[in-house]
């Protein structure tokens, strides 16, 4: 309802100009204008009001009858009569009052006369001696009165003559006569006036005329009020036939309406309803209101607020209805609009609050994830310290029991590290922090490398094989780091659950899968399907669905038996999906499982080695690659248990990074640092790979438990010649010869004091780090930002750079990238391009060093932005988390300065 | 005060700093770096820290009071302070800085103001405590005592 609307909206509506209820241009024929009376010509208040049209029509025969028979009609007449009577009463009262005044005046006059006579008597008694006249003559008395009047008016009749003389009396008689005349005159006037009054009284006594005028006035007033109002009024008899209508629709004529029912006049929606409503009122005998919307051909869609009251005759019988309709179309429309707006508003508000809630939840989740990542990082740093120390401890002389305890400690530590790394990876993918790199790489090499790595730590009698179809491109572009991570994860998973038989990787090119989005497809793109298969225990079908879920393993039994975090596969799946691919699994219990992932790669257009950015470039460049190295399609590796000592061949420690540091760092070997009693025979090639305690595979820890310094070895299968393999492995895992030579030179020159550069902007950190270095017996140079670092590296040949990540001017990541680019290209073009002011006096040794890789260790704070992954991705070799401690620094120096 | 008593109270006082979390184990790194050639390394580093931090806090207050706060400027200050406080083991200052940086990232001026107050509070606390610590040490040295790294430990 309108009244429910808010106040301001009502106001808004009030100021709006009302459109006329009926259209203006519809018929104005004369017969539509039914005049009940002539325009009011008389001097009433409405005479200046222009009563333009009177759209009234009435059944003239019936109307007076109606007025006479109905209550309302008779009351109206009664009213008029009463009013007239009142006015007549008033006039009579006025006349009476006037009459009263006149009577009083007459009485006064008589009283005066009496007084005069009395006075005269008195005078007669005393000075007068003519009592005869005094008593009998009325006239005489009048004279006396006159005389007395004069006395009263202090116009005493002055009589000059002597008292009681003839002259005196004569005079007195004369003056009295005058007074009498005046009195007579007054009397005459009063009578005249009385007559006049009587005459006017007669003229006022026409009631009909008065009534007519009053009626006219009432009529005029009604017209004045109603002429522009959007109101239709009418009277209908008890059959609902119109007897009277005011302000009807202009195009309808009298004969169209009078004597007809609404249904007969109009057609369309609402007509029936209004008819029913009227009938209802008639039946119930109670006036009521209703809002009805009409949909008629005649005047379209209009809403009326209709008031209907029953009409009774004097015998209290219903004889029809009066009805009044007010057009409220605009109001209704506005009201509906308002309601709709309010509804919309409510919906929007609800949606808004829902959205806010969602945003809030999302923010909370993100914060929680970031928190998790930060926490993981915080835990990882000290834990790697613990594991690293434990490993160093394991190289010292220990008895059997101590060694066992230590082994448990290391493997537990490794497990926790693995878990934390997994969590970090997961939360990074989920929070969208994980960025993919696009680098060129050789799929064959990746497969080979992954298998080699796995074989190196293999403790089971398994065959590891790699099979790459010929059509697989030699060089493709993708995020090799992540792909290696996936492969390593799947392979180690496969090995874990396989006790005999083989584990392998199969690569083949497939056509574009159906789930691929079209836009990413272009000519240089290729889809490679990678199967990682094993002949292991297999996965029961019911366990397959939750296989890729976080923290889930096929069964609690397996979890106990095989350990692991249950995160590995979840990460693989997420990574694959992040790269736009798909990871699936098929498996048969006791026969084996095959994990298949398909990924799109861009085919690298050029096979030019010089701009080859992939991780193996230094490895490949440092030795002459075998002619078929890039196209070799089949590899096989086998763990040959217990064969190390018998063949005296190359034996290597397998404790290197499986998929992180190893790819980015040339692995430094600490010759002879393994104080292994069983190895005291001086096998020069028995080495231990240090990796800053950054070990991901739990298997790698177990090697310590395999008896006294028992090392796993690998052996190339028949497909690769053993000489090839050994030379290759040598080149990968030992310091390449050019560097060795150079290093010796440097050592000689610098009297074996290694040159270290610290790049750090925080004074306090510099002070602390410098003191630590001093404590450890080293000195170092300081650069305050990336640009200074680049200049320092250009001018001096350093053995190690400790690089802060977050610095002003140029951060550590960029500086490292530029240094790496120099090492690859032999020039500082990239740095110059980046705006670094490089002094052009390039020394010869710079060119010499350009082939060498400078170890750069990041110093990171515990934030996502300074993640270890990013450090590796930017070409750093390792990282120390801040704050730097003596222990961490010592480990780092041991790793890189041997 | 007797020397032994002083040494005992120094130990207790140091311990309380760790217990209250004002310092963390990183602080223990510092005495290890002291030797004959630079015997007051700890106080040198710490006073450098005070100097540096006073300046940073001053700069931070100025930056945050600007009409339009330039977070590109604010963040490096906080980073700097975080780095140095973490290096000397002023744990609570460091933690406050971590929170501060997260609000810098969100560009939340109001929260940054709160954080600055928090950082200042923590900083003045650690400053106050460390100054007292050094005073105690000086007293011990003046009475002919020795300060060993162990005294600073638990």
CB A709 within 8 A of CB A672: no
The Cα A370–Cα A364 span in angstroms is 10
Nearest to A882 among B30, B52, B83 (CB): B83
Give chain A positions within 8 Å (CB) of B48.
763-764, 767
Instruction: Tell me if A797 sits within 8 A of A743, measured CB to CB.
Output: no
The three-class DSSP label of residue A441 is strand
Helix (H) / strand (E) containing A527: strand A525-534
Tokens matching residue A547: 């296989």
Residue A566: its pLDDT value, please?
A: 66
Name the closest residue on chain B to residue A884, using Cα atoms.
B87
Q: Which two three-digit tokens encode residue A846?
A: 């710079």
Nearest to A878 by CA among A560, A572, A554, A662: A662
- Does A134 lie at the interface with B, CB-CB under 8 angstroms? no
Q: Higher model confidence: residue A745 or residue A222? A: A222
The whole-model pTM stands at 0.34
Taking contacts as CB-CB distances below 8 angstroms, the residues of chain A near B79 are 806, 861
Contacts of A763 in chain B (CB under 8 A): 48, 52, 84
**CA A732 to CA A667: how far, in whole Å?**
8
Report how far Cα A96 is from the mean position of its chain's Cα atoms. 88
CA atoms within 13 A of residue A373's CA, in its CB half-sphere: 26
Q: What pLDDT sits at residue A337?
A: 93
Q: Name, of A141-155, A198-212, A276-290, A505-519, the range with top average pLDDT.
A: A276-290
The answer to whether the Cβ–Cβ distance between A886 and B29 falls below 8 Å is yes
Number of residues assigned to chain A: 898
Reply yes or no on whether the pLDDT at A661 is more than 50.
no
Whether A853 contacts A793, CB under 8 Å: no
- Chain A residues with CB under 8 Å of B82 CB are 861
The number of helices, as runs of H, and strands, as runs of E, in chain A is 29, 23
Whether B41 has its CB under 8 Å from any CB of chain A: the answer is yes
Percentage, residues of chain A above pLDDT 90: 7
3-state secondary structure of A407: helix
Q: What per-residue confidence (pLDDT) applies to A6? A: 43
Phi, psi dihedral angles at A205 (to 5 degrees): -95, 30
Any B CB within 8 A of A431 CB: no
Question: Strand A476-478 to strand A592-603: parallel, antiparallel, or no bridges (unpaired)?
Answer: antiparallel
* Chain centroid offset of residue A66 CA: 67
Give the chain A residue nearest B44 (alpha carbons).
A767
Of A764, A774, A861, the CB nearest to B48: A764
Rounded to a whole number of angstroms, the distance between the first and last alpha carbons of chain B is 22
- Of A57, A23, A12, A21, whose CA–CA distance to A305 is shortest? A21
Report the distance separating Cα B93 and Cα A329, nearest Å: 71
CB–CB of A764 and B29 under 8 A? Answer: no
Contact A652/A711 with Cβ under 8 angstroms?
yes
Q: Between chains, do B38 and A771 touch, taking CB under 8 Å as contact?
A: yes
Give the whole-angstrom CA distance, residue A872 versus residue A662.
10
pLDDT value, residue A181:
92
A883 vs B26: CB contact, 8 Å cut-off? yes
Which residues does A689 contact at the CB level (< 8 Å), separation at least 6? A652, A653, A654, A655, A656, A667, A668, A669, A733
Residues A201-210 have a mean pLDDT of: 69
Highest mean pLDDT among A186-195, A653-662, A859-868 belongs to A186-195
B79 strand-pairing partners: none
Query: Would you call B79 and A806 a contact, using CB atoms and an 8 Å cutoff?
Result: yes
Q: Which of A764, A885, A886 sits opposite B84 (nearest CB)?
A: A764
| Spatial distance between the Cα atoms of B93 and B124, rounded to a whole number of angstroms | 9
Taking only the tens place, the pLDDT of each residue in A258-299 is 888 878 887 788 888 888 888 888 888 888 998 888 888 777
- Per-residue pLDDT tens digits for B5-34: 888 888 888 888 888 888 888 888 888 887
Of B33, B49, B80, the CB nearest to A772: B33
Count how many pairs of residues, chain A against chain B, have C-beta atoms within 8 Å. 58
Least reliable range by pLDDT among A236-240, A625-629, A681-685, A768-772: A681-685
CB neighbours of residue B141 within 10 Å: 13
CA–chain centroid gap for A256, Å, is 60
Q: Determine the pLDDT at residue A205.
A: 59
User: Which range among A104-113, A171-180, A735-744, A773-782 shows the weakest confidence by mean pLDDT?
Assistant: A735-744
- SS3 assignment, position A855: coil
Q: Which is nearest to A685 in space by CA: A704, A669, A703, A662? A: A669
pLDDT reading at A155 higher than 80: no
pLDDT at A285: 85
What is the Cα A293 distance to its own chain's centre?
A: 39
Q: Chain B partners of A884 at a C-beta cutoff of 8 Å?
A: 87
B16 touches chain A (CB under 8 A): no
State the average pLDDT over residues A573-592.
87
Whether B45 and A764 have beta carbons less than 8 Å apart is answered as: yes
* A window 808-847, beta carbon within 8 A of B: 808
- pLDDT score at A56: 60
The arithmetic mean of pLDDT across residues A110-123, rounded, is 78
CA atoms of A328 and A331, how far apart (whole Å): 5
Q: Which token pair is A492?
A: 């180690």
Q: Is the pLDDT assigned to residue A13 strictly greater than 50? A: no
Question: Is 90 exceeded by the pLDDT of residue A72?
Answer: no
Express each pLDDT in A76-109 by its tens digit. 777 878 888 888 888 889 899 989 999 999 899 8
Average model confidence (pLDDT) for chain A? 71
Chain B CB contacts of A808 below 8 Å: 76
The set of residues, in sequence order, having a beta carbon less than 8 Å from that of A430 and lying 6+ positions away, is A369, A574
H or E stretch covering A179: helix A166-203
Residue A849 has pLDDT above 50, yes or no: no
Predicted ipTM of the assembly? 0.79
* Smallest Cα distance from B39 to chain A, Å: 12
Nearest chain B residue to A808 by CA distance is: B76
Alpha-carbon gap, residue A567 to A221, rounded angstroms: 92
- Please give the residue of chain A at the shortest CA–CA distance from B25: A885
Kindly state whether B89 is in contact with chain A, defined as any CB-CB distance less than 8 angstroms. yes
Q: Look at residue A529 in the predicted model and tell me its pLDDT.
A: 92
CB contact under 8 A, A771 and B41: yes
b/e A589-623 (16+ beta carbons within 10 angstroms → b): eeebbbbbbbbbbbebeeeeeeebbbbbbbbbebe
d(CA A592, CA A497): 9
User: Between chains, do B30 and A768 touch, taking CB under 8 Å as contact?
Assistant: yes
3-state secondary structure of A717: coil
A885 in reach of chain B (CB within 8 A): yes
Q: Do A768 and B89 touch (CB under 8 A)?
A: no
Residue A738 has pLDDT above 50, yes or no: no
Lowest mean pLDDT among A7-11, A266-270, A849-853, B73-77: A7-11
How far is the C-alpha of A788 from the C-alpha of A785, rounded, in Å? 5
Spatial distance between the Cα atoms of A505 and A424, rounded to a whole number of angstroms: 27
Residue A140, CA distances (Å) to A113, A152, A167, A212, A405 in order:
11, 18, 17, 58, 170
Please tell me if residue B106 touches chain A, with a CB cutoff of 8 Å: no
Give strand pairing partners of A586.
A594
Cα within 13 Å of Cα(A237), Cβ side: 14
Q: Residues for chain B: how many in total? A: 154
Q: What is the DSSP string of chain B?
A: --HHHHHHHHHHHHHHHHHTTSB-THHHHHHHT--STTTTHHHHHHHHHHHHHHHHHHHHHHHHHSSS--HHHHHHHHHHHHHHHHHHTBHHHHHHHHHHHHHHHHT-HHHHHHHHHHHHHHHHHHHHHHHHHHHHHHHHHHTT----HHHH--
CA distance B77 to chain A (A): 11
Contacts of A162 by beta carbon, 8 Å cutoff, 6+ apart: A168
Q: Which of residues 332-391 of A touch B (CB under 8 A)?
A: none
**Residue B33 and residue A775: Cβ atoms within 8 Å?**
yes
Q: What was the pLDDT predicted at A501?
A: 87
Report whether A877 contacts A668 (CB < 8 A).
Answer: no
Query: Using the beta-carbon criterion (under 8 Å), do A762 and B29 form an inter-chain contact?
Result: no
pLDDT at A121: 65
A838, A794 contact by CB (below 8 A) = yes
Of residues A667, A694, A714, the one with CA closest to residue A391? A694
Please report the pLDDT score of residue A159 as a whole number.
Answer: 60
pLDDT-based confidence at residue A674 (cuts at 50, 70, 90): very low
Judged by CB atoms closer than 8 Å, whether chains meet at A806 and B41 is answered as no
Q: Backbone phi, then psi, for A817, in 5-degree steps? A: -55, -45
Tell me if chain B has a CB within 8 Å of the CB of A761: yes
pLDDT tens per residue across span A324-375: 888 888 888 899 999 999 999 999 999 999 999 988 888 887 777 777 767 7
- pLDDT the model gives residue A55: 55
User: Bridge partners of A320?
Assistant: A237, A311
Instruction: Give dist(CA A370, CA A428) in Å, integer.
Output: 8
pLDDT of residue A652: 40
Residues of chain B with pLDDT under 50: 149-151, 153-154
What percent of chain A stands above pLDDT 70? 64
Task: Give the three-class secondary structure for A322.
Answer: strand
Run of H or E including A348: helix A329-394
Does the beta-carbon distance from A775 to B79 stay under 8 Å? Answer: no
Give the separation between CA A543 and CA A562, rounded to whole angstroms.
16
Asked whether the bond before A795 is cis by omega within 30 degrees of 0, the reply is no
Over range A814-823, report the average pLDDT.
87
Average pLDDT over residues A640-655: 39
Q: What's the pLDDT score for residue A516?
A: 64
Q: Which two tokens stand for residue A615?
A: 């991780």
B36: nearest CA partner in chain A: A775
pLDDT at A756 over 70: yes
- For residue B45, the chain A residues in CB contact (below 8 A) are 764, 767-768, 771
Structure letter (DSSP) for residue A542 = G
Query: How far out from the chain centre does Cα A485 lie?
Result: 39
The reported pLDDT for the residue numbered A605 is 64
pLDDT range class, residue A840, cuts 50, 70, 90: low
d(CA A709, CA B118): 54
B61 interfacial to chain A (CB closer than 8 Å): no
DSSP string, A189-255: HHHHHHHHHHHHHHHT--HHHHHHHHHHHHHHHHHHHHTTSSEEEEEEETT--EEEEES--TT--HH
């Amino acid at each position: 309802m309108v009244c429910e609307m808010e106040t301001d909206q009502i106001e808004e509506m009030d100021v709006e100009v009302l459109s006329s209820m009926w259209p203006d241009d519809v018929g104005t024929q004369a017969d539509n204008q039914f005049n009940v009376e002539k325009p009011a010509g008389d001097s009433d208040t409405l005479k200046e009001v222009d009563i333009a049209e009177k759209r009234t029509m009435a059944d003239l025969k019936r109307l007076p009858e109606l007025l006479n028979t109905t209550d309302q009609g008779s009351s109206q007449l009664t009213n008029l009569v009463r009013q007239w009577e009142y006015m007549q009463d008033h006039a009579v009262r006025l006349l009476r009052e006037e009459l009263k005044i006149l009577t009083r005046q007459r009485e006064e006059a008589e009283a005066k006369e009496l007084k005069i006579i009395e006075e005269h008597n008195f005078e007669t008694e005393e000075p007068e001696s003519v009592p005869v006249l005094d008593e009998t003559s009325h006239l005489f008395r009048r004279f006396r009165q006159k005389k007395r009047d004069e006395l009263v008016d202090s116009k005493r009749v002055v009589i000059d003559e002597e008292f009681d003389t003839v002259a005196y009396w004569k005079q007195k008689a004369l003056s009295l006569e005058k007074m009498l005349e005046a009195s007579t005159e007054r009397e005459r006037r009063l009578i005249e006036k009385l007559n006049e009054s009587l005459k006017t009284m007669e003229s006022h006594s026409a009631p009909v005329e008065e009534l007519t005028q009053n009626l006219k006035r009432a009529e005029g007033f009604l017209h004045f009020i109603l002429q522009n109002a959007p109101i239709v009024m009418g009277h209908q008899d008890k059959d609902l036939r119109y007897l009277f209508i005011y302000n009807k629709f202009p195009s309808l004529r009298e004969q169209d309406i009078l004597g007809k029912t609404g249904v007969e006049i109009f057609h369309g929606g609402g007509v029936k309803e209004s008819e029913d409503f009227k009938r209802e009122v008639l039946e119930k005998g109670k006036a009521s209101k209703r809002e009805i919307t009409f949909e008629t051909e005649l005047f379209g869609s209009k809403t009326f607020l209709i008031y209907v009251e029953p009409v009774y005759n004097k015998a209290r019988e219903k004889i029809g209805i009066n009805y009044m309709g007010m057009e409220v179309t605009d109001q209704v429309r506005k009201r509906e609009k308002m309601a709709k707006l309010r509804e919309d508003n409510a919906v929007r508000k609800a949606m808004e609050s829902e959205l806010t809630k969602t945003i809030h939840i999302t923010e909370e989740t993100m914060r929680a994830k970031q928190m998790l990542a930060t926490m993981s990082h915080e835990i990882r740093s000290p834990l790697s310290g613990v594991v690293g120390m434990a490993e160093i401890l394991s190289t010292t002389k220990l008895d059997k029991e101590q060694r066992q305890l230590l082994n448990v400690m290391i493997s537990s530590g490794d497990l926790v590290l693995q878990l934390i790394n997994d969590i970090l990876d997961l939360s990074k993918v989920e929070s969208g922090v994980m960025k993919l790199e696009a680098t060129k790489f050789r799929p064959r090499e990746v497969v080979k490398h992954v298998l080699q790595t796995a074989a190196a730590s293999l403790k089971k009698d398994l065959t590891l094989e790699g099979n790459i179809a010929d059509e697989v491109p030699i060089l493709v572009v993708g995020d090799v780091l992540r792909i290696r991570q996936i492969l390593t994860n799947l392979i180690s998973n496969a090995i874990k659950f396989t006790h005999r038989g083989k584990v392998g990787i199969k690569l083949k090119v497939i056509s574009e899968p159906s789930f691929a989005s079209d836009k990413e497809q272009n000519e240089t793109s290729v889809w490679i399907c990678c199967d990682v298969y094993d002949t292991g225990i297999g996965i029961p079908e019911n366990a397959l669905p939750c296989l890729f879920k976080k923290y889930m393993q096929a069964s609690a039994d397996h979890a106990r038996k095989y350990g692991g975090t249950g995160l590995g596969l979840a990460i693989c799946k997420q990574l694959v999906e992040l790269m736009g691919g798909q990871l699936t699994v098929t498996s048969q219990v006791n026969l084996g499982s095959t994990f298949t992932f398909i990924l799109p790669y861009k085919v690298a257009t050029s096979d030019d080695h010089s701009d080859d950015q992939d991780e193996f470039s230094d490895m490949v460049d440092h030795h002459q690659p075998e002619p078929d190295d890039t196209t070799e399609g089949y590899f096989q590796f086998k763990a040959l248990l217990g064969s190390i000592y018998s063949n005296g061949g190359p034996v290597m420690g397998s404790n290197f990074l499986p998929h992180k540091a190893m790819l980015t760092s040339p692995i430094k070997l600490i010759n002879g640092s393994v104080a292994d009693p069983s190895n005291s025979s001086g096998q020069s090639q028995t080495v231990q790979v240090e990796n800053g305690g950054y070990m991901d595979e739990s298997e790698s820890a177990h090697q310590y438990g395999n008896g006294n310094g028992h090392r796993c070895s690998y052996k190339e299968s028949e497909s690769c010649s053993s000489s090839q393999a050994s030379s290759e492995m040598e080149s990968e895992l030992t310091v390449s010869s050019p560097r060795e030579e150079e290093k010796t030179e440097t050592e000689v020159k610098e009297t074996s004091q290694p040159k270290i550069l610290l790049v750090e902007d925080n004074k306090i950190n510099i002070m602390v780090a410098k003191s630590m270095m001093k404590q450890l017996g080293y000195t170092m140079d300081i650069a305050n930002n990336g640009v200074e670092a680049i200049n320092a590296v250009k001018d001096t040949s350093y053995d190690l750079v400790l690089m802060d990540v977050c610095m002003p001017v140029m951060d550590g990541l960029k500086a490292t990238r530029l240094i790496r680019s120099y090492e690859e290209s032999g020039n500082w073009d990239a740095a110059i391009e980046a705006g670094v002011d490089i002094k052009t006096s390039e020394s010869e040794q710079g060119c010499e060093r350009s082939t060498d890789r400078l170890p750069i260790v990041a110093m990171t704070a515990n934030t996502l932005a300074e993640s270890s992954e990013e450090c590796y991705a930017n070409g750093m070799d390792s990282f120390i988390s801040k704050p730097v401690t003596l222990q961490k620094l010592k480990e780092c120096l041991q790793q890189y300065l041997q | 005060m007797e020397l032994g008593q002083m040494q005992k109270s120094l130990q207790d006082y140091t311990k309380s700093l760790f217990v209250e979390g004002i310092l963390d184990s990183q602080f223990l790194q510092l005495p290890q770096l002291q030797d004959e050639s630079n015997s007051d390394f700890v106080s040198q580093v710490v006073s450098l820290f005070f100097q540096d931090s006073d300046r940073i806090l001053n700069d931070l207050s100025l930056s945050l009071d600007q009409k339009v706060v330039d977070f590109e400027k604010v963040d490096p200050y906080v980073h700097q302070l975080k780095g140095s406080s973490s290096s000397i083991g002023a744990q609570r200052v460091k933690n406050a800085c971590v929170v501060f940086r997260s609000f810098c990232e969100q560009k939340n001026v109001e929260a940054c103001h709160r954080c600055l107050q928090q950082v200042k509070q923590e900083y003045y606390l650690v400053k106050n405590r460390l100054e007292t610590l050094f005073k105690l040490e000086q007293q011990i040295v003046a009475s002919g005592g020795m300060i060993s790294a162990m005294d600073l430990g638990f």
